[in-house]
Amino acid sequence: VHFHHFALIGLEALALTRRVLPQARIVATLHDYHPICANDGLMVTTGGALCHGASPDACHACLPDIAQHRFATRNLHLRNMLGLVDRFIAPSRFLKDRFVAWGIAADRIDVIENAVAAAPVDSGKQAARVRRTFGLFANVAPHKGTLLALAAISRVAEAIPDAVLRIHGGMNFQDDAFRRNFETTLCETGDAATHCGPYPREDLP
């Protein structure tokens, strides 16, 4: 049984699977740091600094409305649930290293990088073309640098009027405040930026 993600499912699905299918091999893909980090899985503090590891003290300092003992309980519960997984898949060595530091044995995590099939390219045309189009391929979210990219293209467009940014990605699970901020900032860039919306994986090349 392969769990691609636990969002909207819950880690308790692992316990249910183990109970209903005791002989099954359970595989889970680790896309992000949600099990490690209570701050939306970002491993960035609420003050904006990078976080290199979770602990009850550090997490309470980051999220002071949550008591320290609740972080310890959360950590124990998550480790117990993930202990039911036979094999993990990580898309990068960096992500694997974060989970190994958190306590998952290195030999339980295989790195399989996200791959995109190469598209044929006419190298002659590519070399001759002036490149003034930038692309951002990611979910539209605060931690993906979307607003930073919009600010950057506004500055670039002042010097190079035909420079443009095309943002490819959906806006799932974002709150209204961020959506309004994104839409306002996008409008302020004028013709310099376009939000093209989500795309199917096969269109990425």
Taking only the tens place, the pLDDT of each residue in 53-94 is 888 999 999 999 999 999 999 999 999 999 999 999 999 999
Q: What is the DSSP letter of 117?
A: P
b vs e for 2-41, b when ≥16 Cβ sit within 10 Å of the residue's Cβ? Answer: ebeebeeeebeebeebbeeeeeeebebebbebbbbbbbee
102-109 long-range Cβ contacts below 8 angstroms, 24+ apart: 102/35, 102/36, 102/53, 102/54, 103/79, 109/30
Residue of 128, 130, 139, 132 whose CA lies nearest to 160: 132
pLDDT score recorded for residue 122: 66
Q: Return the structure tokens found at 23.
A: 């002989």
Is pLDDT larger for residue 196 or for residue 131? 196
Mean pLDDT over all residues of the chain? 89
CA 205 to chain centroid: 20
pLDDT average, residue stretch 4-12: 88
Residue 195 has pLDDT above 90, yes or no: yes
Residue 117 has pLDDT above 70, yes or no: no
pLDDT score recorded for residue 138: 87
pTM for the complete prediction?
0.74
Tell me the C-alpha distance between 192 and 161, whole Å.
8
Q: Work out the pLDDT band at 116, boundaries 50, 70, 90.
A: low
pLDDT score recorded for residue 32: 87
pLDDT score recorded for residue 90: 95
pLDDT average, residue stretch 46-59: 87
pLDDT score recorded for residue 135: 92
pLDDT score recorded for residue 128: 67
